[in-house]
Amino acid sequence: MKKVIPWGLIALACVLLAAGVLTGEHTVIWRKAVNICMECIGLG
């Protein structure tokens, strides 16, 4: 049982990661990260 829970969580993370990529969320997150970074160094 102790080995099942970590593998189940890894599988769930992979499914959620794939769902995010398929819906295009990675581009939204990347754009937000770039904007925050630009604001921190004073370029945006």
pLDDT digits (tens, 9 = 90+) for 1-44: 788 999 999 999 999 999 999 999 999 999 999 988 888 888 76
CA distance 40 to 16: 30
pTM comes to: 0.63
Q: Look at residue 26 in the predicted model and tell me its pLDDT.
A: 92
DSSP symbols for the chain: -TTHHHHHHHHHHHHHHHHHHHTTHHHHHHHHHHHHHHHHTT--
Cα 16 to Cα 43: distance, rounded to the nearest angstrom: 33
